[in-house]
Amino acid sequence: LKENLALPVGTTLDRFIMRKQEDFPYATGELSQLLRDIALAAKIVNRAINHAGLTDIGGAYGKQNVQGEDQQKLDVVANIRFIRALRNGGEVCAIISEEEEDVIHTGNNNGKYIVAIDPLDGSSNIDVNVSIGTIFSIYRRVSELGTEATMDDFFQKGTEQVAAGYVIYGSSTMLVYTTGNGVNGFTYETSLGEFFLSHPNITTPQNGSIYSVNEGGFNHFPESIKHYVELCRVRNYAARYIGSLVADFHRNLLKGGIYLYPNTLKSPGGKLRLLYECNALAFLVEQAGGKASDGRQRILEIQPSELHQRCTLYIGSKDMVNEVENLLVARDRPV
Ligand code: P6P
């Protein structure tokens, strides 16, 4: 790979993608185009979110998604927008989405890529103006070009991701992504309709003093997680839990910290989804020098077997995740 030239802050996303494409000698531009397609959809969703309070697009849609969760209208809008952008872009042969029970075949059977996406995570926070996000993973298809995607395309381990990222619709809107060469963050300038490089080469602190967990479930956490939470309290760590995964993850990525979603009474196998939430954030955090585990193994090593399968998630600063893993292994030795 060419010297990983540091591009100046303020570089546009387009120019950055083009320059990084030059780093991949055999890149033929499809992945670059796919990243642009995602950025376009993010701009459109951002506009819808910003106007949600003013147009009748906020609030519940009146239906439930495959998760049995009340779909918020913006969930539906975001799902439609991302699927349309990926279909029209032509690079993607199939998509799985949190909002859709089955695989969406785009008709682009010559598309080299598949995408797993949570179009709008944390959408229950929309009506109360809390930051929400889009999370995506991109894989090269393993099935034959020219044919319809198969489940093998979607049951690849997280280690096989070629790119992953998230959009956080917060006090500012940012796109943060990796193609396996580090993590870069771009801030959206609405007046220009452009993403600009604002956080080049993001690395997460090796250790931290922020812990993010829904302590409402404390009484039903595994003993070792109770113990870890008590350690955080004794150490006077800061408890920060927004209840919006992308927002909690993004803060911990930049400042250092750990996000925990253990087995709980309501979600005995964990709540978060492997294919379109955990794998993407695990790829990003590892690229930034952090760690992501289900308590026993790397998230990226989990062999998927269902599209919407859940997993427990301990993600963030490496030393903090290591401590949780050591406690889990020592005190809750897997049966
Ligand atoms: P709980 C939002 O529904 C979400 O999927 C994540 O964004 C968030 O981190 C988590 O669930 C919150 O779950 O059980 O703490 O409300």
Ligand 1, atom 9, residue with closest C-alpha: 245
Angle, helices 245-255 vs 279-287, to 10°: value is 10
- The CA 111 to ligand 1 mean position distance, Å, reads 33
Atom of ligand 1 nearest to the CA of 216: 15
What is the rounded distance in angstroms from the CA atom of residue 241 to the CA atom of residue 32? 34
Ligand 1, atom 16, residue with closest C-alpha: 243
ipTM of predicted assembly, 2 dp:
0.97
Ligand 1, atom 14, residue with closest C-alpha: 214
Q: What is the pLDDT along the chain (335 residues), one digit of tens a residue?
A: 444 456 788 899 999 998 887 766 666 788 889 999 999 999 999 999 888 766 666 677 777 777 777 666 888 999 999 999 999 999 999 999 999 999 999 999 999 999 999 999 987 888 788 999 999 999 999 999 999 999 999 999 999 999 999 999 999 999 999 999 999 999 999 999 999 999 999 999 999 999 999 999 999 999 999 999 999 999 999 999 999 999 999 999 999 999 999 999 999 999 999 999 999 999 999 999 999 999 999 999 999 999 999 999 999 999 999 999 999 988 755 55
Residues in contact with ligand 1 by the CB-under-6-Å rule are 121-122, 124, 214, 243-245, 248, 271
Cα–Cα nearest to 185, from 167, 210, 170: 167
Atom of ligand 1 nearest to the CA of 266: 14
**This prediction's pTM:** 0.93
Backbone phi, psi, residue 190, to 5°: -60, -35
Atom of ligand 1 nearest to the CA of 124: 3
**Mutate which of 75, 125, 220, 271 for ligand 1 pocket (most atoms within 8 A of beta carbon):** 271
Contacts of 62 (CB under 8 A, 6+ apart): 71
**Mutate which of 66, 75, 121 for ligand 1 pocket (most atoms within 8 A of beta carbon):** 121
What is the rounded distance in angstroms from the CA atom of residue 40 to the CA atom of residue 44? 7
**Token pair belonging to 267:** 């979600």
**Mutate which of 245, 263, 315 for ligand 1 pocket (most atoms within 8 A of beta carbon):** 245
Ligand 1, atom 10, residue with closest C-alpha: 243
